[in-house]
Amino acid sequence: MFDFIQEYWTVISQNLGWSDLFDIAVVAFLIFQLLQLMRGTRAIQTLSGLAILFIFYWLSDRFELLTLRAVLGSVFDNWILILILLFHQDIRRALSQFGRASFISTSNKSQQSQIIEEIIRSCVSLAGKKIGALIVIEREADIGEFVEAGVELDCVLSKEAITSFFLPVSPLHDGALLVRNGRIALAGCFLPLSLNPLVSKALGTRHRAALGITEETDSLCIVVSEEKGTISVAASGKITHDLDAAQLRRMLTEML
């Protein structure tokens, strides 16, 4: 076995030039970047489903399951068209993301820590007063196409600014606050609600919106419950409840 691998590698290495290695490296880099941009979105789930279909196709060919091979073969014969139809939104979003700065890359470590602390202070303050809040933090994927309405802003993120948007007297308090590149980008915007039938019916609109946007994108959502005064964080379609300041700090530091 090892002799075969060694012989195979010798043949490959003798026929590979520097241009071939560069070509392979570029393709690998592009695929890696594409997967990074799709991470945490529904595209990954769809890719997993396609991978399972491909495994069944390989098994049908291996064991000569003619009917199954014919059906799956007709699907994979048009794989380019299928990929475009399934991932047209993700492809458009991925192309727009190349060269675009993420939350982390636009801020140094001290700035990032300061931004996280401002978010924590505002959430703790709002929770103590039982004032509801919904803060969505954009990461790699642009969530603009999933956000409705909202007032466009470009202001410094601070406890005072965040708190002011969610006060009951504010006309924007019912919507979500969008944080992009470490700054407040939108206020009073509306997010898609989760359609997952397994989501508890006890969850309110803010929690469902947090789950909805994190099911579709890789964003991170913080929810302050108006009824209980508790803090929750949603990511990848899952939500963690009843966080204190230390737990919230740890989650934000790990995820951003």
Q: Could you read off the pLDDT of 102-119 as tens digits, one per residue? A: 554 444 677 889 999 999
Nearest residue to 255 via CA among 220, 231, 222, 221: 220
3-class DSSP assignment, residue 145:
helix
Nearest residue to 196 via CA among 231, 164, 239, 141: 239
The Cβ of residue 96 has, within 10 Å, a number of other Cβ atoms equal to 13
The token pair at 143 is 């969530």
Q: What is the pLDDT of residue 57?
A: 81
- C-alpha span between 116 and 125 (Å, rounded): 14
- If you average pLDDT over residues 193-208, what whole number do you get? 89
Tens digit of pLDDT for each residue in 214-236? 988 889 999 999 999 999 999 98
Is the pLDDT at 252 greater than 60? The verdict is yes
- What architecture is domain 109-255? 3-Layer(aba) Sandwich (3.40)
Q: Domains of the chain: which residue ranges?
A: 2-97, 109-255
3-class DSSP assignment, residue 174:
coil
- C-alpha span between 146 and 154 (Å, rounded): 19
- C-alpha span between 151 and 189 (Å, rounded): 7
Please give the mean pLDDT across all residues of the chain: 82
DSSP assigned state of 235 = E
Angle formed by the axes of helices 42-62 and 18-38, nearest 10°:
120
Q: How far from 144 is each of 50, 122, 179, CA to CA, in Å?
A: 27, 24, 12
- Token look-up 């520097």 returns 18
Q: At 242, phi and psi to the nearest 5?
A: 50, 55
The Cβ of residue 223 has, within 10 Å, a number of other Cβ atoms equal to 28
Q: What's the pTM value of the predicted model, to 2 decimals?
A: 0.66
Angle formed by the axes of helices 109-128 and 159-166, nearest 10°:
40
Is-contact 193 212, C-beta < 8 A? yes
3-class DSSP assignment, residue 170:
coil
Greatest C-alpha distance within the chain: 76
3-class DSSP assignment, residue 150:
strand
Tens digit of pLDDT for each residue in 39-74? 555 666 677 777 888 888 888 888 878 888 888 887
